[in-house]
Amino acid sequence: MIGGLFIYNHKGEVLISRVYRDDIGRNAVDAFRVNVIHARQQVRSPVTNIARTSFFHVKRSNIWLAAVTKQNVNAAMVFEFLYKMCDVMAAYFGKISEENIKNNFVLIYELLDEILDFGYPQNSETGALKTFITQQGIKSQTKEEQSQITSQVTGQIGWRREGIKYRRNELFLDVLESVNLLMSPQGQVLSAHVSGRVVMKSYLSGMPECKFGMNDKIVIEKQGKGTADETSKRCLSGKQSIAIDDCTFHQCVRLSKFDSERSISFIPPDGEFELMRYRTTKDIILPFRVIPLVREVGRTKLEVKVVIKSNFKPSLLAQKIEVRIPTPLNTSGVQVICMKGKAKYKASENAIVWKIKRMAGMKESQISAEIELLPTNDKKKWARPPISMNFEVPFAPSGLKVRYLKVFEPKLNYSDHDVIKWVRYIGRSGIYETRC
Amino acid sequence: MTDSKYFTTTKKGEIFELKAELNSDKKEKKKEAVKKVIASMTVGKDVSALFPDVVNCMQTDNLELKKLVYLYLMNYAKSQPDMAIMAVNTFVKDCEDPNPLIRALAVRTMGCIRVDKITEYLCEPLRKCLKDEDPYVRKTAAVCVAKLHDINAQLVEDQGFLDTLKDLISDSNPMVVANAVAALSEIAESHPSSNLLDLNPQSINKLLTALNECTEWGQIFILDCLANYMPKDDREAQSICERVTPRLSHANSAVVLSAVKVLMKFMEMLSKDLDYYGTLLKKLAPPLVTLLSAEPELQYVALRNINLIVQKRPEILKHEMKVFFVKYNDPIYVKLEKLDIMIRLASQANIAQVLAELKEYATEVDVDFVRKAVRAIGRCAIKVEQSAERCVSTLLDLIQTKVNYVVQEAIVVIKDIFRKYPNKYESVIATLCENLDSLDEPEARAAMIWIVGEYAERIDNADELLESFLEGFHDESTQLQLLTAIVKLFLKKPTETQELVQQVLSLATQDSDNPDLRDRGYIYWRLLSTDPVAAKEVVLAEKPLISEETDLIEPTLLDELICYIGTLASVYHKPPSAFVEGGRGVVHKSLPPRTASSESAESPETAPTGAPPGEQPDVIPAQGDLLGDLLNLDLGPPVSGPPLATSSVQMGAVDLLGGGLDSLIGGTNFVAPPTAAVPANLGAPIGSGLSDLFDLTSGVGTLSGSYVAPKAVWLPAMKAKGLEISGTFTRQVGSISMDLQLTNKALQVMTDFAIQFNRNSFGLAPAAPLQVHAPLSPNQTVEISLPLSTVGSVMKMEPLNNLQVAVKNNIDVFYFSTLYPLHILFVEDGKMDRQMFLATWKDIPNENEAQFQIRDCPLNAEAASSKLQSSNIFTVAKRNVEGQDMLYQSLKLTNGIWVLAELRIQPGNPSCTLSLKCRAPEVSQHVYQAYETILKN
């Protein structure tokens, strides 16, 4: 299991050092600094073995988190734990920075004592942790409170405490998708997928039992079979359902029920959490098409023309559109003309950045640029990195629709109808690249 | 208030000041002081001198302060054991505290203090805590047993804690179960023989129930423990799998990977015929792909594991190639791993896409990545034969970029392509030679030297090239290659290169201190001076083709690593014993053996090692086999007569003897010792040793295939001291064989049969030794089917299809020659695409066209077409012109020569007209004969 956990600043000075196992000595702290943080070459693996000691590291801004072990630990678990550790710290004191870590080092030690025992991760849900790791010092708890805490930390529903009350029962569902594309210069889709998340913010009293439904093809087809009016159902499912390649759920979701009935039922944590993640690859609506044209005129000049076309309902508006056209390292000057928005050559980023605030569906726009190059002796050709794009659209490119989210709380007297529900769809660009 | 100020105290006399503060009356001040101590401790300062003062602060009702003091204690107790005893009372008292959080804190901390005297006091409180009413205390106590075991294993056993821990597996609280499982698994690892984790169907059932209820981490502990269980039969394995599969949808990647581990392991026990087996395979792919959208570090872990899974069960991800395409912004470690998996998944179906991607990668910035991409292109060529040509041309394009490391990498892989497809792409050698000067890496130089030596006869200035390398002979990394290459050159062009070979032999034997080099130098020298013909046969003998997968993990290791999915072992691709110290975690794990029900699907002996029969590399023999055959040499060499004396070989030998060697031997004082005499025919047994790999003997017989002529007598008994040989040639499902009938018409028993072919136009050679199992007694006849390959030496014969054969038995060696029908060389993939056909037809000059009449062949177009098709002559298109049926047909010979045909059939007219177009017009006559034989029979 995890033998120790260290946090360093960018200089390699240790900010937190907690050792869980006897086989990890103080020299492990230095070994990581010397071999990884101060290494001459860029780190080539997130797992490093130094003298039979293995180090797992992740970086958050300029802070290094390293877990160390001498055993054959579950590597996936160690990384999941490091990410979780970051989440927990962020939930307690915001951004993970040197200053924040120094300011909260006592808290961090307390957390590390609680969520890792002998190197075994323990309950690390912030909801539960915040009930008893408070930094408030002596806060006398009644016996009931204490046992409530312990039963929550160890219990089946470790993510939610009992007795939550809201005057207004409300929930927000955000369908957040990032659409990824790799397109050839000829406009052929080399790979495209949507990775989506359903994020829920729940402000619900008691221990509400929730059921979430979406236009999942498998569910809709299953329902379609049951009814007599099959043709109309099929019609519906053909158009409006989507094929989900795979999905994963927050630990509150009953996985065995999903496996057997494909229904998503759960008791949500209080506040914001990520209910599910999913991935689709079929019938993706690609909100933008990028058509590049790069021409090398002699050895010292490049002509670039890029057309973007929006491909969604004209009534919808895309926002925060940004097209990034890479330029060679030996660029000496750039002249740009664009029809819409603003375009600038950013020498420090080796790219022309073209920004458009808003763009309606079914429109197109164009930019052309002349790039002057310095003659070089460099034999190696310019690698032509792909043109990338960023945007935000008010729909889900996968076609996912929320069909319902039902809430049942048998003990308290509010019903599904009393809950105010909000649903929002946001599609963003993930890695959206067109080769040129 | 911020805590960062504690990090900035660097004054002198700091310890003294802290001491005063720690003993202050004010609670706040005390707490501040302890915080400063902890901060100093973190940055590595020695604050052990404050031990008594800090321990004094322990008695407090402030939980935060208490935790800080405990933290200090855990760090320094070991260095101050006597003073640590002062803390015991507080611990014992805290274990009785009404607040469960404090009870748990005390027992958790005590377990971390590795001082014997404290451990003694720990036992009683621990016993109580293990039975505490509060689950939080019990789950903490469970882990504490593992801690105590780490300090004093005997104590844990004596105190009976292990039994209590086992009881906790049945606890009502899922987290207690999970921690108990984790603790027991760890303890069990250090006692491999003990039956501590006595897993049985009942306890497994409990674990599976807890799996649905506990935290994500608990699920990992339970799944990792389940993976060690061995189900008693396939039904139990299936039912566990069914209950584990829902975990594949968990958001935590480690839960998913641990579930994958359980499934991969138990799947071994399921029969492949089972529907469930297929369902399970399908269910595994999506979660594995989803892992690739995790954070990069986890992607890395996932990719390393997928690499193993793809080797073990390639079918799972065979359709998912695209998800492994490299993204521009992937960290380098993700890129390199993805590339590896792409090559493993490359197949004929997706090769075009893969190549396009690889070409893209070869222009990236990162040197390692580019090198790997170039290497990958070469591996694709070797793996997917159909793509070889495109790969070679891509590599040539890359060489044109003149980027130094790209060129060198490309040359290294082209060498391997030559070894896989000999005599096919030598046209690129000229381009390679242009880049000689830029080769500064030993591996690239070695590759180039090998290529020059191997193809010396086709490179006009091979001697100059090798001479230029010889100037740098002191560079140790390519000495062996250079020695071999120059000897090959000498054997191929003896007249011009005597001086060179002499030079290299003396450098190797006299100026070098390297024992391998000297030994090899002497071997060559003796060989050349004793028997140049033999030398030629030994050095220039056929070599086995290289295998497509050179970097597969060895099957037993792979199976072991599958049992370690998700762990460090799977990341390093090494067994835990390679990186874990001591006895811990080095228990050798292995996959469960396949159950009886599955043996029908898979031969039993391949099951434990895992590789299904079809996936074994089919080109290279296991080293053992080869060795075995070589050792066999003295016992009964298949051929003991003189090598086949054909005019060309004879000529070469004469040249060698007359021209070169006399002076070579004369020029030095080296006298070949008599012991160095090498059996003259070393070449032959090696050749037949290799032939074991072409195990094509099966599948001959009744299967439909090309037309087979009736057996004809090839060697009459009177010419061969009583041995009569008759035979014919067949082609069935891609393999050619020579069906022989040996009859003993002598009065003496015949044994020790062997066969050898002279070089011939299409490189036909026996692919296995002639196996006559029992001695052939007088008047007995045996039927033998001898598999043939077309990778033998090529020499144009007259007529083209002439084959000279030598057969040997205990009596003598006999020679005969026979003509083989050309259609045994028509390959199965000889169907040309229609467009291609048109283009090729036009492209071949008209003077290459030959026209023949086939008389007395009253077949209609359909019948002719289907008859021809069974002999691998494919009808590309059909047309009816003025009442005549025109069939456009294509066929391909084993050496890649295409023949296009137009067959005109007139209904009612028994003769038809055949027009043949081929780039090598000399085959036309024989193709026509093949047509005639096929159509008329």
CA atoms of A123 and A129, how far apart (whole Å): 8
Confidence of residue B630 (pLDDT cuts 50, 70, 90): very low
Distance separating alpha carbons of residues B675 and B677, to the nearest angstrom: 5
DSSP A394: S
Q: Tell me the mean pLDDT in the region B98-121.
A: 88
Higher pLDDT: A423 or B669? It is A423
What values do phi and psi take at B431, rounded to 5? -60, -40
**Long-range contact set of residues B393-397: C-beta below 8 Å, sequence gap at least 24:** B394/B355, B394/B358, B394/B359, B396/B428, B396/B431, B397/B359
Q: Is the pTM of this model over 0.80?
A: no
pLDDT at B803 over 80: yes
Q: Please, what is the average pLDDT of chain B?
A: 81
Residue B603, pLDDT above cutoff 60? no
> In this structure, are strands A170-183 and A420-434 parallel, antiparallel, or unpaired?
parallel
A223 vs A219, A227, B448, CA distance in Å?
6, 7, 66
Q: Is the per-residue pLDDT at B708 higher than 90?
A: no
Lowest mean pLDDT among B618-632, B773-787, B867-881, B885-899: B618-632
Of B712, B725, B745, the closest CA to residue B805 belongs to: B725
Contact A155, A134 (CB under 8 A): no
Whether the per-residue pLDDT at A220 is higher than 90: the answer is no
Residues A139-159 have a mean pLDDT of 75
Q: Which residues in chain A are closer than 8 Å to B213, comparing Cβ atoms?
A: 156
Secondary structure letter of residue A385 according to DSSP? P
Instruction: Enumerate the residues of chain B whose CB falls inside 8 A of the CB of residue A387.
Output: none
A290 close to A323: Cβ distance less than 8 angstroms: yes
If phi > 0 it is left, if psi is from -120 to 50 it is alpha, else beta; for residue B856 that is left
- Mean pLDDT calculated for residue range B431-454: 88
| Cα maximum dimension of chain B | 125
Whole-number pLDDT of residue B460: 85
Using CB atoms, which residue from B39, B287, B333 is nearest to A105? B39
Exposure of A334 by Cβ count < 10 A (0-12 exposed, 13-18 middle, 19+ buried)?
A: buried
Partner-chain residue, chosen from A15, A138, A259, that has the shortest CB–CB distance to B62 = A138
Distance CA A211, CA A219 (A): 14
Return the amino acid letter for B647: S
Distances (CA, A) of B60 to B57, B70, B194, B283, B323: 7, 12, 43, 55, 57
Confidence of residue A299 (pLDDT cuts 50, 70, 90): confident
pLDDT for A134: 80
Best mutation target among B136, B172, B228, B334 (most A Cβ atoms within 10 Å) is: B136
Confidence bin at B776 (pLDDT 50/70/90):
confident
Report chain B residues whose CB lies below 8 A from the CB of A276.
Answer: 251
pLDDT of B731: 84
Q: Of the candidates B108, B109, B43, which has an alpha carbon nearest to the alpha carbon of residue A26?
A: B43
Q: Which of A3, A24, A149, A154 is nearest to B142 (CA)?
A: A154
Task: Check if the beta carbon of residue A202 is closer than 8 Å to that of residue A267.
Answer: no
pLDDT of residue B703: 42
The long-range contacts involving B866-871, CB below 8 angstroms and separated by at least 24 positions, are B867/B934, B867/B935, B868/B931, B868/B934, B868/B935, B870/B704, B870/B705, B870/B706, B870/B707, B871/B706, B871/B707, B871/B731, B871/B823, B871/B826, B871/B930, B871/B934
Are B822 and B764 in contact by the 8 Å Cβ rule? The answer is no
pLDDT of B684 above 60: no
Mean pLDDT for B248-258 is 95
What's the CA gap between B104 and B662, in Å, rounded? Answer: 93
With cut-offs at 50, 70 and 90, classify the pLDDT of residue B693: very low
Inter-chain contact A113–B108, Cβ cutoff 8 Å?
yes
Strands B802-808 and B813-819: antiparallel
Q: Which pLDDT score is estimated for B10?
A: 53
Q: Is it the case that residue B622 has pLDDT exceeding 50?
A: no
B550-561 average pLDDT score:
87
Nearest to A259 among B146, B246, B302 (CB): B246
SS3 for B621? coil
pLDDT band of A428, cuts 50, 70, 90:
very high
Structure tokens at A198: 């359903």
Contact between B567 and A74 using a beta-carbon 8 Å cutoff: yes
Give φ, ψ of B26 to 5 degrees: -80, 130
Least confident of B352-361, B679-688, B772-781: B679-688
Whether pLDDT at B624 is above 80: no
| A136 confidence band (pLDDT: 50, 70, 90) | low
Q: What is the mean pLDDT of residues A46-58?
A: 93
Q: What is the pLDDT of residue A141?
A: 67
Size of interface A-B (CB pairs under 8 A): 284
Contact yes or no for B290 and A435 at CB 8 A = no
**Alpha carbon distances (Å) from B424 to A44, B894, B895, B905:** 39, 12, 9, 37
* Helices B27-42 + B63-76 axis angle, to 10: 40
Q: How much is the average pLDDT of A89-100?
A: 93
pLDDT at B660: 41
Q: What percent of chain B has pLDDT over 70?
A: 85
CB nearest to B64's CB, from A54, A110, A254: A110
Q: Is the pLDDT of residue A138 over 60?
A: no
Q: How confident is the model at residue B484 (pLDDT cuts 50, 70, 90)?
A: very high
**Is the pLDDT assigned to residue A225 strictly greater than 70?**
no
Q: Do the chains contact at B3 and A81, CB–CB below 8 Å?
A: no
pLDDT band at residue A239 under the 50/70/90 scheme: low
pLDDT value of residue B644: 39
Identify the pLDDT of residue B549.
67
Q: In what order do the strands lie in the sheet with B754-757?
A: B754-757, B802-808, B813-819
Q: How confident is the model at residue B436 (pLDDT cuts 50, 70, 90)?
A: confident
Residue of chain B whose Cα is closest to the Cα of A84:
B252
How far apart (Å, rounded) are the C-alpha atoms in residues B64 and B82? Answer: 25
Other residues' Cβ atoms within 10 Å of the Cβ of residue B773: 7
CA pair distance A250, A247, nearest whole angstrom:
10
- ipTM score: 0.83
Write down the pLDDT at residue B583: 53
Which residues touch A179 (CB under 8 Å, ≥6 apart)? Answer: A192, A193, A194, A284, A286, A287, A397, A398, A427, A428, A429, A430, A432
> What mean pLDDT comes out for the span A319-335?
92
Strand partners, B740: B727, B784
Residue B640 near residue B681, CB atoms below 8 Å: yes
Residue-level pLDDT at A394: 95
How does residue B899 score in pLDDT terms, banded at 50, 70 and 90?
confident
pLDDT category of residue A4 using cuts at 50, 70 and 90: very high
- Is residue A45 very low, low, confident or very high in pLDDT (cuts 50, 70, 90)? very high
Strands (DSSP E) along B820-932, which ranges?
850-854, 874-881, 884-892, 898-905, 912-918
Rounded distance, CA B417 to CA B702, Å? 37
Which one-letter amino acid corresponds to residue B862?
E
The encoded tokens of residue B717 equal 């008994």
Neighbouring-strand partners of residue B728: B739
Which residue from A300, A373, A302, A369 is spatially nearest to A333, judged by alpha carbons? A373
Q: Which residues in chain B have Cβ-Cβ distances shorter than 8 Å to A279?
A: 286, 289-290, 293
Instruction: Tell me the mean pLDDT in the region B336-357.
Output: 91
Pick the closest to residue A69 from B367, B449, B568 (CA basis): B568
Give, as one character, the DSSP assignment of residue B760.
Answer: B
Q: Is the pLDDT of residue B240 over 80?
A: yes
The residues, ordered by sequence, that sit 6+ positions from A29 with a Cβ below 8 Å of its Cβ are A6, A14, A17, B44
Per-residue confidence (pLDDT) for residue A277, from 0 to 100:
93
**pLDDT(B628) > 60:** no
Among candidates B6, B212, B301 on the partner chain, residue whose Cβ is nearest the Cβ of A76: B301
Give me the pLDDT at residue B904, please.
84
What's the confidence (pLDDT) of residue B617?
A: 40
The distance of A187 to chain B (nearest Cα, Å) reads 15
For the ranges A64-78, A387-401, B343-357, B586-600, the lowest mean pLDDT is seen at: B586-600
Residue B410 near residue B397 (C-beta atoms within 8 A): no
- The whole-chain average pLDDT of chain A stands at 88
pLDDT on residue B332? 93
d(CA B135, CA B731): 75
For testing contact with chain B, the best of A42, A72, A246 (most B CBs within 10 A): A72
Q: What is the pLDDT of residue B648?
A: 37
Mean pLDDT of the B747-760 span: 84
Decide if B555 contacts B622 (C-beta within 8 A): no
Higher pLDDT, A97 or B719: A97
The predicted structure's pLDDT at residue B595:
55
- In the block, tokens 């060698």 appear at B656
Tell me what the mean pLDDT of segment A362-379 comes to: 87
| DSSP annotation of A269 | P
State the pLDDT at residue B599: 40
